[in-house]
């Protein structure tokens, strides 16, 4: 029994004792002898019975009811962990059981609600797009993590403020105003400059309505479309480059054909000279188209490599006669070192292309009487291919760009050797499709070394 219960119990007991004493003082003087003793005994017995009764009523009814009331108070205050002590008797027992059941289900409900809240928060925070929620008066109510990352401040610098006070992009203001004004979804894109970077952002604003179709605010979603724009730009550049590259030989073919028809055809010497040019230019055109097709095939069938277990030595048997012949023409010494039998799971045709492109470059960009070497060895789970030359080398600023399509350090020189500027782009593509890596080291006028690592499997 806690203190307030004991106090109540003591009060009741004192009242009963006083009543008994009063009854005693009234009745006893009126009696005599044995009657007195009987009366006293009856009073004392009555007192004891009263005590037992009061105690029972307390334990079985008053205490559980008071405890249930206290728990109900706690529940009202939001403390759903509160439980009443369980009485086993009658109505009071039912009451305490019901109160406890109520408390339990309230507690479960809040746990579920909190879990759902957390889930929603996690989803919102891990979205790939920025999100902002504003009410009908323009106050920001919610921003997610991506939004913070995009605009660079943290949530409490936005939440509770008017959107136009915390965001200075006119396009965002326009999007919100349009969503409010036209009460329909709007789409808009703009650029924002963050730190050093310029990012392209697409914004979608949608008004929010309540059950009675009244405007309650707007939700704005920000997609970062920088990568998309970038690849769009690359594609545009590529198309421009292709057209340009195709135009040069085509103009030349047409020009010489016209000159021939205009009369140059009559002169034996000119005829031969011009036809040779036309032949060379058409060959250039052919290689260019071939390389372009190769590149686009690689891009589309990246996953469709025709992998099989191949022996590097037998692969080289197909290539070496051709490239050695080219090297001989420039009197270039060509050394090959293949350590033991090396086997690799790869696409043989593609791998041949890698060797041919690298060795051709080495020959093309090395002056007469130079040296070229090809060495292949296994290192742990990898095959390492090194192609090096002692040719003209590549400057540091060009080194990062040589793998780009159409990038050539010296356009004229590359063109003279039949280069299209696509060779290394193709090589890199193939290597990466095989989960390998390619690196280049070079010193101007000292030479260049390409190093490829390919996983054996
Ligand atoms: N071994 C090398 N030595 C010097 N420069 C090289 C070498 N390999 C490639 N390059 C440079 O990289 C450019 C790109 O090579 P590549 O993609 O094969 O195109 P290209 O058709 O011009 O050979 C070349 O134009 C050349 O300037
Ligand atoms: Mg090349």
Is residue 389 within 6 Å of ligand 1 at its C-beta? yes
β pairing state of 140-143 and 197-209: unpaired
User: What's the pLDDT score for residue 200?
Assistant: 87
Identify whether residues 352 and 277 lie together within a single domain.
Answer: no
Closest CA to 372 of 322, 332, 427, 337: 332
User: Which protein residue has the closest C-alpha to ligand 1 atom 21?
Assistant: 419
Identify whether residues 336 and 439 lie together within a single domain.
Answer: yes
Identify whether residues 315 and 409 lie together within a single domain.
Answer: yes
Residue appearing with tokens 């079985």? 60
Q: Distance between CA atoms of 246 and 277, rounded to whole angstroms?
A: 16
Q: Supply the DSSP string of 233-279, one letter for each residue.
A: HHHHHHHHHHHHHHHHHHHHHHHHHHHHHTTGGGSHHHHHHHHHHHH
Under 8 Å between Cβ of 175 and 186: yes
Identify whether residues 381 and 317 lie together within a single domain.
Answer: yes
Identify whether residues 189 and 293 lie together within a single domain.
Answer: no
Residue appearing with tokens 């403020």? 161
End-to-end CA gap in the chain: 78
Identify whether residues 278 and 167 lie together within a single domain.
Answer: no
User: What's the pLDDT score for residue 197?
Assistant: 75
Q: Which residues contact 275 (CB under 8 A, 6 or more apart)?
A: 256, 260
Identify whether residues 234 and 362 lie together within a single domain.
Answer: no
Burial (CB count <10 Å: 0-12, 13-18, 19+), residue 319: middle
User: What's the pLDDT score for residue 309?
Assistant: 94
Identify whether residues 347 and 435 lie together within a single domain.
Answer: yes
User: What's the pLDDT score for residue 151?
Assistant: 86
For residue 118, being part of any structural domain is answered with no
Identify whether residues 217 and 163 lie together within a single domain.
Answer: yes
Identify whether residues 336 and 433 lie together within a single domain.
Answer: yes
Task: Tell me which ligand sits closest to the C-alpha of residue 448.
Answer: 1
- Here the tokens at position 214 are 């009244």
Boundary-marking domain end, from 224, 254, 274:
224
User: Which protein residue has the closest C-alpha to ligand 1 atom 24?
Assistant: 408
- What is the distance of C-alpha 351 from the center of its chain? 33
**Which residue among 294, 295, 361, 418 is best mutated to probe the pocket of ligand 1, counting the most ligand atoms within 8 A of its Cβ?**
361
Tell me the residue range of the domain where 140 lies: 127-224
Identify whether residues 407 and 438 lie together within a single domain.
Answer: yes
- What is the distance of C-alpha 214 from the center of its chain? 36
For residue 121, being part of any structural domain is answered with no
Helical H segments across 393-440, by residue range: 396-399, 411-416, 423-433
User: Which protein residue has the closest C-alpha to ligand 1 atom 12?
Assistant: 402
For residue 442, which phi and psi values (nearest 5 degrees)?
Answer: -160, 150
User: What's the pLDDT score for residue 194?
Assistant: 64
Boundary-marking domain end, from 224, 257, 276:
224
The CATH number of residue 169's host domain is 3.30.450.20
User: What's the pLDDT score for residue 235?
Assistant: 87
User: What's the pLDDT score for residue 302?
Assistant: 63
User: Which protein residue has the closest C-alpha to ligand 1 atom 25?
Assistant: 408
Domain total of the chain: 4
User: What's the pLDDT score for residue 24?
Assistant: 85
User: What's the pLDDT score for residue 80?
Assistant: 87
For residue 288, being part of any structural domain is answered with yes
Flag residues of the chain having pLDDT under 70: 1-2, 87, 194-196, 301-303
Boundary-marking domain end, from 113, 143, 159:
113
pLDDT in tens, 172-196: 898 888 888 888 888 887 777 765 6
Identify whether residues 439 and 327 lie together within a single domain.
Answer: yes
Which atom of ligand 1 approaches the CA of 408 most closely?
25
């Amino acid at each position: 029994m806690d203190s307030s219960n004991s106090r109540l119990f003591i009060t009741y007991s004192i009242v009963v004792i006083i009543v008994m004493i009063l009854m005693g003082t009234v009745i006893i003087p009126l009696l005599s002898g044995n009657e007195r003793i009987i009366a006293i005994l009856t009073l004392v017995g009555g007192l004891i019975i009263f005590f037992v009764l009061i105690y029972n009523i307390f334990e079985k009814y008053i205490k559980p009811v008071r405890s249930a009331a206290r728990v109900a108070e706690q529940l009202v205050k939001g403390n759903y962990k509160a439980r009443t002590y369980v009485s086993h008797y009658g109505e009071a027992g039912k009451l305490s059981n019901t109160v406890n059941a109520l408390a339990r289900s309230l507690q479960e409900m809040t746990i579920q609600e909190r879990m759902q809240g957390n889930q929603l928060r996690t989803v919102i925070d891990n979205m790939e797009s920025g999100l902002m929620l504003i009410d009908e008066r323009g106050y920001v109510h919610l921003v997610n993590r991506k939004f913070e990352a995009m605009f660079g401040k943290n949530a409490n610098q936005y939440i509770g403020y008017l959107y136009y006070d915390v965001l200075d992009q006119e396009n965002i203001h326009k999007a919100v105003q349009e969503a409010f004004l036209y009460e329909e979804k709007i789409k808009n894109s703009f650029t924002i400059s963050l730190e050093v970077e310029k990012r392209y952002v697409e914004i979608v604003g949608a008004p929010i309505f309540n059950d009675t179709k009244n405007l309650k605010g707007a939700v704005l979603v920000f997609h970062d479309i920088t990568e998309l724009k970038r690849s769009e730009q690359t594609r545009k550049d590529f198309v421009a480059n292709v057209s340009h590259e195709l135009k040069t030989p085509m103009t030349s073919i047409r020009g010489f054909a016209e000159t021939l028809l205009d009369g140059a055809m009559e002169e034996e010497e000119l005829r031969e000279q011009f036809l040779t040019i036309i032949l060379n230019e058409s060959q250039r055109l052919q290689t260019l188209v071939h390389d372009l097709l190769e590149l686009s095939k690689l891009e589309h069938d990246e996953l469709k490599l025709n992998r099989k277990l191949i022996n590097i030595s037998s692969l080289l048997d197909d290539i070496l006669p051709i490239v050695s012949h080219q090297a001989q023409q420039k009197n270039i010494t060509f050394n090959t070192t293949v350590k033991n039998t090396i086997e690799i799971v790869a696409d043989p045709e593609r791998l041949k292309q890698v060797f041919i492109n690298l060795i051709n470059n080495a020959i093309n960009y090395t002056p007469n009487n130079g040296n070229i070497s090809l060495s292949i060895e296994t290192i742990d789970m990898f095959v390492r291919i090194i192609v090096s030359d002692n040719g003209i080398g590549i400057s540091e600023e060009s080194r990062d760009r040589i793998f780009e399509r159409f990038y050539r350090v010296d356009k004229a020189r590359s063109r003279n050797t039949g280069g299209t500027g696509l060779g290394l782009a193709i090589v890199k593509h193939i290597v990466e499709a095989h989960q390998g890596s390619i690196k280049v080291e070079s010193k101007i006028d000292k030479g260049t070394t390409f190093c490829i690592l390919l996983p054996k499997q």
